[in-house]
Amino acid sequence: MSPIRGVAPAVVVILVAAAAWLAAATPAMAQLTDADVYVAEATLAIEDKQWDRALDLLRQALAKEPDHVEALYYTGVAYMGKRQPAEAVKYLEPAREKSPTDTSIAYQLGLAYVALEQYDKAQPLLEQAFARDPTLDSLGYYVGYLRYRKEQYQDALRAFRAARTADPTIADLTRLYAGLSLQKLGLPAQAEAEIAQIGQLQPASPLTGPAERLKSSLASARETTRRFRAEVKLGGFYDDNAAAEPNQRADDRAVDLARQNNRRTFGELLSVGAEYDWLRLKAWTGTAGLSFFGTHNNTLGSFDIDDYTASVRLARRGTLFDLPTQAGINFAYDHLTLGYHKLVDRYSASTYLALVESARHLTNFQARVEGKDYSHLPDTPHQELQDAINYLVGFIHFVRFERDRHFVKGGFQYDYDATRGSDFEYRGYRFLLGGQYTLPWRDVRLTYDFDLHYRDYLNRHAFLPLERPGSVERSDKEFTNTVRAEVPLPWFVKNQALFLTGEYTNKIVDSNINAFSYRRNYAAIYFTWQY
C-alpha cells in the first residue's frame, strides 16, 4: 500500500481542527445589534466545540438578519465542526458573495471544498487566502497539497516552505509532501532529509510508519537505479557537399581551386556510447563515459570520419533559494580522424548549472575551455595553424509544457578562439532557437533546431582573397537548420528502447571571403537502441 493512502483519513480530522482555529479570525464587526449578540454567544460555544448550541444561536441571528455575514460564516464553521461540509458550503458561499475579499471566509470555504474532494473549487479560494497571508495557520499545507495533486511540484514546495502551523500532525504532513515534491523534482537526498524529520514534534505520529517506509523506498530506489547505460545508432545518410566545397563563383580563382566537383555521397553511420555511474553519494553523482561515432562515405572515402571520446563528469543536485538545481563539471578528450588520419585532438573542461525556476521554466548556464591540437602538413604557413584554445560561456532557456513532452528553447553563447595562426582567431556569437512537439500518436517526437554562429575574425587574412591578400578581415555567418522525427518502435526487453529517427540538416555559410561560403544538405535515417 502506498504511504500516501494512509494519510488521507488524517486530513479529514485536521480540517475540523482548522475550522476551530479559524473561529478566532472573525470578519470585522459593525455596531452591535441583536443578531450580533447571538453571534457573539455562538463564537463562545464554537470555542467550546458546542456545535449544536452554536447553530441554535446562529439560527436566531439569521432569523433577525438573514444577510448577517458573521452569522453565515460561523454557521459554516459550526457545520465543519460537525463534519458536515456540504451544509457548511450552503452558508459560506453566501458569506463570500457578501464579503469576497475576506481571507477567513475564503479559507473556511476552501477547507469545506477540500473535505468534499471538490479540489478545483477549493484551490482558487485557498490560493486567494495564501496570496494575502501565507502565514495563516496550516494554510501553506493545504495550498501545497492541492498544487502537488496537479503535479506542480515546485510551486507546491514553495507553499510547504512558507507553511506555518501549531498542529504537529499538520507539520508532519507538510514535511511528508515536501519530501514527495523533492523526490518528484529529482532531489532524493533532500527528500530523505525532509522525511526524516517526521515525528520529531509528535513521537506517536500516525505518519511515522508511512514516512519510514517511504524513506526506505527512496534509499532503495537510489541504490537500484541502473548505473550502466548504453546507446547504439546505426543507419544511412546522404550528403550533397561532404567536402564543404565553396559555392561556385566564376570570377574567383580561389573558389575554382577549392572545388573538385566530387562532393555528393551516400554513406553509413554508426554511433556507440556507454556510461557508468562510478559514484553515488547522496546528492553527488560521478559518471564516466566512452563513445564512438563513425561515418563511411561510399564515394568519398577521404572524408570518412571517426570520432573517439572519453569523458568524466561529477554532478550534484541541490536547491538554490528553494529552486532545484544541478551543477556539474565535465572533463573530455576527443580524437577525430578524417580519412583515417588524425585531424584534431580536443581536450575540454566545462562546468554547468541547470536551474529549474518552475515546472514551466528551466535555464542551463555553461562555461567551457577547450584545447585543440590539429594535424598540419610540415610546410603549413604559421598564419594557417589552427591549434587553439577556445573559451565559451552561454545559456539556454527552456519553456516546457505537459511535463516536457513539448518545449521551446532559446539561448546565446559567446566564444573566443585563440589560435596559433592569425588567420583563424575569432570572436563568435551563437544564437540558438528550437522546440519539440510530441504527437499523441505513438509519442512521436518532432524537433526543430536553429543555430546562427556569427564569427568575427580579428586579423586580416594573409592569403585571401588571392588578388588582394592581407586586405580583408574575414567575417562568417553560419546558419544551421535541423528538423528531426523520432518514432518509438516496439521492443520486447524490459528497460530497453528502440527508435527510428529521420533527420534533415541544411547548412548555409556566408562569408565575405568567397572561398569560405558554401551550402550543404544532409539527410539521415537511423535506428537507435538504448539500454
Q: Is 148 in the same domain as 203?
A: yes
Same domain, 212 and 235: no
Among 189, 204, 223, the domain boundary falls at 223
Residues 219 and 232 in one domain: no
Q: Report the distance separating Cα 195 and Cα 172, nearest Å.
A: 8
CB contact at 8 A, 526 and 491:
no
Please give the DSSP secondary-structure letter assigned to residue 212.
Answer: H
Contacts of 72 (CB under 8 A, 6+ apart): 62, 91, 92, 94, 95, 98
Is 529:500 a contact under the CB 8 Å cutoff? no
**Domain boundary, last residue among 173, 205, 223:** 223
Regarding whether 206 and 341 lie in a shared domain, the answer is no
Query: Given the C-alpha cell 457545520, which residue does it identify?
Result: 79
As a whole number, mean pLDDT of residues 116-134 equals 92
pLDDT value of residue 216: 54
| DSSP code per residue over 450-480 | EEEEEEEEEEE-SS-STTSTT--EEEEEEEE
pLDDT on residue 301: 87
Query: Where does the pLDDT of residue 5 fall: very low under 50, low under 70, confident under 90, or very high at 90 and above?
Result: very low
Output the domain CATH number for residue 163. Answer: 1.25.40.10
pLDDT of residue 13: 39
**Residue 16 pLDDT grade (very low, low, confident, very high; cuts 50, 70, 90):** very low
3-state secondary structure 302-370: HHCEEEEEEEEEEEEEEEECCEEEEEEEEEEEEEEEECCEEEEEEEEEEEEEEEECCCCEEEEEEEEEE
- Weakest-pLDDT range from 188-192, 452-456, 470-474: 188-192
The 10s digit of each residue's pLDDT in 109-120 is 999 999 999 999
* Same-domain pairing of 143 and 219: yes
Mean pLDDT score, 411-429:
97
Instruction: Name, in order, each residue with C-beta under 8 angstroms of 197's C-beta and a sequence gap of 6 or more.
Output: 175
SS3 label, residue 39: helix
> Is the same domain home to 271 and 212?
no
pLDDT at 12 over 90: no
Instruction: Check residue 224 and give its pLDDT.
Output: 53
- Give the count of domains, the chain: 2
Task: Answer yes or no: do 193 and 252 share one domain.
Answer: no
Q: Which grid coordinates belong to 395?
A: 545559456
- pLDDT tens track for 336-385: 999 999 999 999 999 999 998 887 899 999 999 999 999 998 899 999 99
pLDDT at site 167: 81
Q: Which of 223, 244, 260 is the last residue of a domain?
A: 223
Q: Is 32 in the same domain as 85?
A: yes
Beta-carbon-side half-sphere exposure of residue 227 (alpha carbons within 13 Å): 12
Q: What is the pLDDT of residue 28?
A: 45
More confident residue, 219 or 134: 134
pLDDT at 531 over 70: yes
Listed residue (220, 212, 170, 171) closest to 195, CA to CA? 212
Least confident interval from 7-16, 30-39, 464-473, 496-505: 7-16
**Average pLDDT over all residues of the chain:** 86
- Judgement on whether residues 152 and 245 belong to the same structural domain of the protein: no
Q: What is the pLDDT of residue 222?
A: 53
pLDDT reading at 10 higher than 50: no
Between CA 160 and CA 179 the distance in angstroms is 10
Residue 89 in contact with residue 66, Cβ under 8 Å?
no
**CATH number of the domain within which 407 lies:** 2.40.160
Chain centroid to Cα 41, Å, comes to 54
Closest CA to 447 of 501, 394, 499: 501
Share of the chain above pLDDT 70, in %: 87
- For the ranges 58-67, 315-324, 390-399, the lowest mean pLDDT is seen at 315-324
User: What is the Cα–Cα distance from 41 to 54, expressed in whole angstroms?
Assistant: 8
Q: Are 425 and 417 in contact (CB under 8 A)?
A: yes
Cis check: omega of the bond before 465, within 30 degrees of 0: yes
Name the residue range of residue 31's domain. 5-223
pLDDT confidence band for 527 (50 / 70 / 90) = very high
Within this chain, do residues 281 and 196 fall inside the same structural domain, yes or no? Answer: no
* Burial of 490 (C-beta count, 10 Å sphere; 0-12/13-18/19+): exposed
Residues 247 and 313 in one domain: yes
pLDDT reported for residue 447: 96
User: What pLDDT is attached to residue 309?
Assistant: 97
Using a cut of 0.85, tell me whether the model's pTM lies above it: no
End-to-end CA distance of the chain: 30
Confidence grade of residue 322 (pLDDT, cut at 50, 70, 90): confident
Per-residue confidence (pLDDT) for residue 213, from 0 to 100:
54
- Which grid coordinates belong to 99? 464579503
Q: Are residues 381 and 413 in the same domain?
A: yes
